[in-house]
Structure 1
Amino acid sequence: MNKAITDGINFMPPLFKDGLTVWSSGDGTPGSDTYDGAVNAAFVPSDADFSGCLELQKTSPTQKLRHMGQTPLQPGCYLQIKARVKAISGNLPSVRIAAWAGGAGNNHVSGVTEVGPATTLTTYGEVVEITAIVGSGARGGVDMPWGRGALYGHFGLNLEGANGGIVRVDDIEIIDITSAFLRDLIGVVDVRDFGAVGDGTTDDSEAFEAADTAANGRTIYVPEGTYRLNQTVNLGSEVKFDGTVTMPTDQMLLLTKNFDLRNYIDAFGDEELAFRKAFQALMNSVDHETLDMGGRKIAVNGPIDMQAAVPNKTSISTRRVVCNGEFDVKGNAAWDTEVFTSVATYDPADSRKLKNVTNIANIPVGALITGNGVGREIYVRSKDVAAGELTMNAGLYDADGSQNFTFTEFKYLLDFRGFSKLTKFNMLDIEFQCNSQCSAICLPAIGATFSLSDCFISRPKDRGITSIGGGCQGLLIDQCQFLSAEEALDVAERTSIAINANANDVKLRNNRATMFKHFAVLGGDNSMVIGNHFFQGDHVSDGIRSAGLILIGDYNCGMVSSNYVDNCFIEWTNERDPQPDFDGGFSFSSMSITNNIFLAGDVAPWFSFIVVKPYGTGHWLNGVTVTGNKFRATSGYIERAERVDTSFADLNFTRSKNVTYTANMYHGVTKKVNNPLRVRHVQSTAAQTWTVDTNDELPFGANARSVEGLVAVDGIRTAGGSLRYTMPYVRHERGAEDNAIDVVWSEAVQGSVEVNIRIDKV
């Protein structure tokens, strides 16, 4: 770069032969004295060494010579001032290039160096070349770094030392030598050329912005040093960092041209800080919707508060993506779980509130709540310290009155709790390596369509993904692996959970989860659980198994299809209902469990793959489909594939409605249930009433409430062998368990019939 060539700027001062009216004995500013007619200065037209020169006698302690013209100094431009001098007689002075720095409004720029190195003349008649370089940046070889405040200079030289000596000065030259400071004459813009200091204290924000303005397609270069940026800096050009930057938490570095994590790590020199600043930029950028981690592994030494990284925003509804990397948790006390206890009062009429909470100021939002009558995965959604009230993500089934509650604060690798709302946030191709130190992700209280795809959540200490409220609305988890930290423990000792959600429309698709206490606890409606493989067994003979999938809510409208349910079971419950007894509505309804593989090995005979657990009386099945499933038990038979857990209540089987339980396959299962259930009954002795037993093969041990078909297999005959063609009628819900029917004839007959018996009525 040469401004004389590219921009036509003339840096050269006039020759001495053209007159001394523009050469000042002061600073060179307008009105200063000139050498025109001065008794101690004269133009010498002919000299053995110079073709015209200024002869000057030193009469002041510092004899100044300044060109009165304003030589421009542009950011990124470096000028060399050169003078050849020789001593003629008298005392031998020291000589140095000197200048006066001018800024906006023709004001003097103070605090900058305005002299070059001094050279002492030692021999009369010897020509000595005096040089100095001036420029905006504090670069190596720059004698006078003036920063961006200087716009021009009055350049010349100083004679210093004893008075009386006479020297001759050849015409002064000023040339653009910017190219000497560029790595590439057209490709690089150095921030130091625009006044960046890099001392870790001086605010270099404006210098960075000026370099970006000047880059015009070239790369901005940040050399070694620590550059303090006190302001938000938006760089539209590519940037190469050899040095690092520091900046306040609430200010942003926006790398628009090369926005990826690698460049932020180069910029900040610390992986964890770099991720925070890159995430901050992502959430504030209109130019990028994806932060590519570039395959980098980030060492994380404490929970990352995602909202604290973006202090100017608490609500974000624009699609944003973080992808392609790994978070690697390092063990230290920052991950320690905290536990608080408090007395609080619960009123089922205000089902999501705990009131009169002692010690409420210390209880964190997002803490897990446990106590008598508290269901699984109940969290503090928000709190009102002044009112002494906590709001929970769901109600409690049996906690009326006051009692002690325990509040457990898990620590999360990525913690989104600080956002009041987060929508359309996606994470792709990332491994969350929790290393048994922490949980992985905590969602905010409000949000929608948080998405996790093709990720690994490895060895979480307590939870994989936690929802403390409604931030799981429309949660999308696809093709992820959840690897437990509790593989070595027996089922009864495990406490970790891969996923919990409270809101509606959750989609869990094609995931794999190993050895957690539970794979997923879903508290909302309309969930779709498709194509997942979750397994939770151990090596204990006849050992217990935990629920792999827990669906909470009687009206659930859930779909569980094409999963591999391995050594665990599906549990459907209403444990978050503060008034759990049925008093209206649809009861346990709208559930389909279809085309799944169910496998268990070496389990107790009472184990079942599908468990309905009512927490109140009067509930019934209403709109349930269980079809196309493969139920298999190995190393011993199980009694049945489905059952009701009556720990709190049984189902009301007199009201079952619209239940389809067909086309399932059973291996190692004693009771092969169906609805409708086809039963062949053989009556070997004549009787007017035939009692047809279902052998407890109706789903869930339900009542025989209707018959949808009855046909005689061969002739119906009297005791004497005469055929009868009369039509019988049936009586439902017979026998001690109401699971048989009576076929009633007009007279005593014998023979055999096939009957399709249902647990529901039309």
Structure 2
Amino acid sequence: MNKAITDGIVFMPPAYAGGLGVWSSGDGTPGSPTYEGSGTGVFVPADADFAGCLEIYKTAEPQRLRYMGQTPLLPGCYLQIKARVKAISGPLPEVRIAGWAGGAGDAHVEGLVEQGPAVQLTGYGTVHEVTAIVGTGLRPGVDMAWGNAALYGHFGLDIEGTNGAVVRVDDIEITDVTSVFLRDMIGLVDVRDFGAVGDGVTDDSAAFEAADQAANGRKVYVPQGVFRLEENTNMASEVSFDGTVTMPVDKMLLLTKNFDLPTYITAFGDEMLAFKKAFQALLNSSDHESLDLGGRKIAVTEPIDMAAAVPNRTGYATRRVVRNGQFDVKNSSNWDTETFTSVATYSPSDPDTLTNVANVANIPVGALVTGSGVGREVYVRSKNESTGEITLSAPTYDAAGTQTFTFTAFKYLLDFSGFSALQKFNMEGIEFQCNGRCSAIRLSPGGNTFVLKDCFVSRPKDRGVTSVGRGCQGMLIDGCQFLSTEESLDVPDRSSIALNANANDVKLRHNRATRFHHFAVLSGDNNLVLGNHFFQGDNVANGVRNAGLVIIGGYNSSSIAENYVDNCFIEWTNEHDANPDYFTSFSFSALSITDNIFYASDVAPWFSYLVIRPHGTGHFLNGLSVTGNKFRVNNVRIDRVDRVDTSFADLDPERHKNVSFENNTFHGINTPCANPLRVQHTQSSPSSAWTVSSQGQLPFGGRTRGCDSVVTLGGLRTGQGALRYAAPYVELKQGASQSDIRLRWSESLFGSVSTILRVDT
């Protein structure tokens, strides 16, 4: 680049032969004294070494020579000032290139270096060359770095030393030498050319933005050094980093053209910090909807507080995506779980609150709450230190009164809980390598449609994805793998959970989870659990199994379809009801379990695939569909696939409604079940009262509360063999378990019938 050639800018001052009225013995500004008729300077038209030169008699310290014309100093442009000098007589002086820096309004720009290196004249008649380079940037080889404030200069030289010296100076040359600095960087704009220092202390924000504005389609170059950016810096041009930048936490670097994590890593020199700053930019820029991690592995040594990384926002509601990379957790005490105990009071009349919490300030938001009568996956949603209260993510079923609660603070790789609400946030194609040291993701307390797609959550210590409030509303988890760190443990020893949700409309689709304590704990309504494979077995013969899927809430209205439920079971409970007894609610209703594969091996004979565990009295089935499922057990046989866990209460079999349990297949199960249940009965001896047994095949220990039909198979005959055409009436709920019926005939008959029995009405 040469501005004299490309833009026709004149840098070269005129020769002395044109007159000395433009050559000042002062600073070169208008009104300063000139050498014209001064008596201290005279033009010498012929010299043995110089064609024409200025002979100066030194009378001042220093003796100045300045061209009075304004030589422009442009951003990114570097000028070389050169003069040839020789001593004629008197004391031998030092000579150096010098200038006067002029800024806006022709004011002097203070604080700049305005002299080049000194050259000592060593003999009379010996020609010495004196040079210096001036430019905006502090770059190697630049003698006078004037930054952006200086717009022009009055250039010449200073003669220093004892007065009385006579020196001849050839015509001064000023040439554009920018190409020397940019020979390897054609098309680059160097931030140093706009005043960036790169010493880690000076604020280079303005220089970065000035370089960006001047780039005009070219790439901005950040050379080696540490560049301090004290202000928000928005770079619309592509930026190439050889050096690094530092910024306050609350200031942003917005890279519009190359917004990706590899660029931020190069810029900040630290993977964790780079991710935080890139995430900060993602939530503060309208130019990009996604952050590409570029396939990079990010070494993480402590929990990343995602809200603290963006201190100017308490929430966010515009779709944003982070994709394509890996977080790799490194061993550190920063991941150690913290446990707190505190006495507190709970009242079912205020079901989401703990009051009179001792030492409430010590209890972190997001901690797991456990205690007598507290259900699974109840967390501290928020706290009020002034009132000593904690807001829970869900009510407790039987914790009324005052007791000591335990608060367990898991540490999370990515922690969004500092946001009040985060909506439409996606993470795609990411592996969370927790390495058994931490949990993976903690959601914000509020918000909706958090998306985790095509991700690996590998070896989380305690939890994969945790919801501590309602930030899981409408959550979508699709095509993800959850790989437990407890694979080598037997089932009773496991405690980790892949994910939980408290709000409605969660979609879990086509995921795979291995050997957690639970795959998912869902306590909202209207969920879709589709096409997942979750398996939780071990190598223990006749071993116990945990629930793979825990559905919490009576009225559920969820669909569980086409999953592979492997060595675990589905549990349905109402343990988040503050008043668990049935009064006027829908009770256990509106759940659909359809077309799933249920498989287990080497399990205890009392194992069941579908377990209902009611809390409180009076509950019943009020809408349940279990259809098209394949139930199989290998190596052993189990009693049945359905069971009511009566640890806290039983179902009321007199109230079941709208139960559909049909078109399922059973292999390795002693007692299959169905509703409606078809039972064939053969009466071999004449009787007017036939007892038809359901053989325990009505689901969930139900009673025969209905009989849809009784059809005779073949003829009915009397003891004497006479054929009869007769119809019985039906007595329901017969036998000790009230699961049989009795057919009453008008006379003693024998024969066969087919009946359809029901547990519901």
The answer to whether the superposition gives a TM-score over 0.5 is yes
Matching residue of 1:36: 36
730-739 vs 668-677, which moves further: 730-739
Whether the 8 Å CA contact 1:632–1:668 is kept in 2: the answer is yes
Give the counterpart letter for 1:481 in structure 2: Q
1:618 touches 1:652 (CA, 8 Å); kept in 2? Answer: yes
What is the match of residue 485 of structure 1? 485
String of CA shifts for 1:328-383, please: whole Å, max 9, x gaps.
10111101111111111111011110011111011111000000000000000011
Q: Which residue of 2 aligns with 1:218?
A: 218
418-427 or 114-123, which moves further after superposition? 114-123
Which moves more between the two structures, 460-469 or 34-43?
A: 34-43
Counterpart residue number, 1:312: 312
Aligned partner of 2:629 in structure 1 is 629
Q: Which residue of structure 2 lines up, in the alignment, with residue 80 of structure 1? A: 80
Residues 628 and 664 in structure 1, CA contact (< 8 A), matched pair in contact too: yes
SS at structure 1 position matched to 2:122: coil
Is 2:487 the counterpart of 1:520? no
Partner residue, 1:330: 330
Amino acid at match of 2:637: Y
Residue 48 of structure 1 aligns with which residue? 48
Distance change in 2, residues 1:209/1:125 (3 Å): same
Q: CA–CA distance in 1 between the matches of 2:95 and 2:365?
A: 72
Distance 2:747 2:443 in 1: 70
3-state SS of 1:349 partner: coil
Shift of 1:89: 2.3
**Corresponding position of 2:246:** 246
Unaligned runs of 5+ in 1: none
Match runs of 1:3-42 below 5 Å: 3-42=3-42
Separation in 1, partners of 2:427, 2:246:
27
3-state SS in 1 of match to 2:49: coil
Whole-angstrom CA distance in 1 between matches of 2:723 and 2:586: 47
Shift of 1:123: 2.7
Q: Partner residue of 1:692?
A: 692
What's the counterpart of residue 440 of structure 2?
A: 440
Q: Give 1:382's aligned amino acid.
A: S
Which residue of structure 1 aligns with residue 592 of structure 2? 592
Are the counterparts in 2 of residues 186 and 218 from structure 1 also a CA contact under 8 Å? no
2: CA distance between counterparts of 1:183 and 1:410? Answer: 55
Q: What SS does the corresponding residue of 1:525 show, helix, strand or coil?
A: coil
SS of alignment partner, residue 349 of structure 2: helix
Alignment of 1:456-535 (within 5 A): 456-535=456-535
Q: How many residues align?
A: 761
Alignment of 1:342 with 2:342, yes or no, is: yes
Cα distance in 2 for partners of 1:551, 1:290 equals 34
For normalisation by structure 1, the TM-score amounts to: 0.99
Q: Residue 397 of structure 1 corresponds to which residue in structure 2?
A: 397
Q: How does 1:20-419 map to 2 (within 5 A)?
A: 20-184=20-184, 186-419=186-419
Residue 420 of structure 1: how far off its partner (Å): 0.4
> Residues 365 and 383 of structure 1 are in contact (CA less than 8 Å); yes or no, is this contact kept in structure 2?
yes
Q: Distance in 2 between matches of 1:183 and 1:457?
A: 48
- Structure 1: distance between partners of 2:638 and 2:420: 48
Aligned residue identity for 1:726: A
- Aligned-partner Cα distance in 1 for 2:748–2:39: 153
Partner secondary structure for residue 180 of structure 1: helix
CA RMSD in angstroms comes to: 1.1
CA–CA distance in structure 1, aligned partners of residues 651 and 717 of structure 2:
40
Cα distance in 2, alignment partners of residues 201 and 403 from structure 1: 55
Tell me how far 1:171 sits from its aligned partner: 1.5
- Matching residue's letter, 1:524: G
Alpha-carbon distance between aligned partners in 2 of 1:176 and 1:637, rounded to the nearest angstrom: 92
Deviations 1:243-273 (A, max 9, x none): 1110100001111101110000000001111
User: Following the alignment from structure 1 to structure 2, what is the Cα–Cα distance between the partners of residues 304 and 88?
Assistant: 73
- Aligned equivalents of 1:287, 1:362: Cα separation in 2: 41
Q: Which amino acid aligns with 1:53?
A: C
Cα distance in 2, alignment partners of residues 345 and 62 from structure 1: 86
Tell me the percent identity.
66
Q: How far apart are residue 167 of structure 1 and its match?
A: 1.6
Q: Secondary structure at the match of 2:489?
A: coil
Q: In 2, Cα distance between the equivalents of 1:138 and 1:382?
A: 52
* Paired residue type of 1:592: S
Could you tell me the TM-score, scaled by structure 2's length? 0.99
* Runs of 4 or more above 6 Å deviation: none
Letter in 2 for 1:9: I
Q: Does 1:2 align with 2:2?
A: yes
Tell me which residue corresponds to 1:548.
548
Rounded to whole Å, the distance in 2 between the matches of 1:604 and 1:157 is 99
Aligned AA for 1:487? E
Q: Tell me what 1:659 maps to.
A: 659
Residue type of the alignment partner of 2:373 = G
Matched residue of 1:591: which SS?
strand
**Residues 179 and 185 of structure 1 are in contact (CA less than 8 Å); yes or no, is this contact kept in structure 2?**
no
1:484-539 superposed Cα distances (whole Å, 9 cap, x missing partner): 11111111111100001000000111111111100000000011111111111112
Distance, in Å, in 1 between the alignment partners of 2:726 and 2:682 is 18
Give the secondary-structure state (helix, strand or coil) at the position aligned to 2:179. Answer: helix
Structure 1 window deviating more from structure 2 (182-191 vs 343-352): it is 182-191
One-letter amino acid of the counterpart of residue 626, structure 2 = V
Query: 1:14: how far off?
Result: 2.1
Tell me if the contact between 1:44 and 1:52 (Cα under 8 Å) persists in the aligned partners: yes
Please say which of residues 747-756 and 16-25 is displaced more in the overlay: 16-25
Superposed displacement of residue 90, structure 1 = 2.4
Shift of 1:184: 4.4
Q: Which amino acid aligns with 2:594?
A: T
Q: Deviations over 1:279-299 (max 9, x none)?
A: 111111111111111111111
